[in-house]
Homo-oligomer: A and B are copies of this chain.
Amino acid sequence: MKTIQETAETFEVSTRTLRYYEEIGLLEPDRSSGNQRKYSKADETRLKLILRGKKYGFSLDEIREMVLLFDEDRSGKKQLERTIEYGEARVREIEASIKEFQALKQEMEDLLEGFKQKLKEEKE
């Protein structure tokens, strides 16, 4: 169980950020007898997910939806089906993103090839 400071350092975020994530319902660490936050391994895993989501441009609102969906009680049949459907839609989005990134990479490489050619010509 880490303190808020330790957790913040581990993930390179501010303590304010951790408190804010709790404020908007993204995290809910246990408290010590004196009401201080205690971050468990599960909290860390969740935080990791949140930060990855952020890295790829998802809003905290969207992230909450995902995190909660995968975190809630998935026992009911309807719930499971909904989760699977949602998850598969997300996977398709990710696939599309990968393709776009690959195209972008190709584009940049082509552009750079042109620059290199130009540089070469300039040297001669």
Contacts and interface: CB of A to CB of B under 8 A. Distances in A.
Contacts of A118: 74, 80
Which DSSP category, helix, strand, loop or mixed, fits chain A's interface?
helix
Contacts of A123: 77
A20 interface: no
B81 A119 contact: yes
A103 to B, nearest CB: 9
Contacts of A1: none
A123 to B, nearest CB: 8
How many copies of this chain does the complex contain? 2
A31 interface: no
Nearest to A52: B104
Given A57-B56, A98-B98, A100-B52, A87 B115 contact: yes
A90 interface: yes
A41 interface: no
A54 to B, nearest CB: 8
Sort A-B residue pairs by CB-CB distance and give the 4 closest, nearest first: A57-B57, A87-B112, A94-B105, A80-B119
A16 interface: no
Interface string A108-124: 11011001101100110
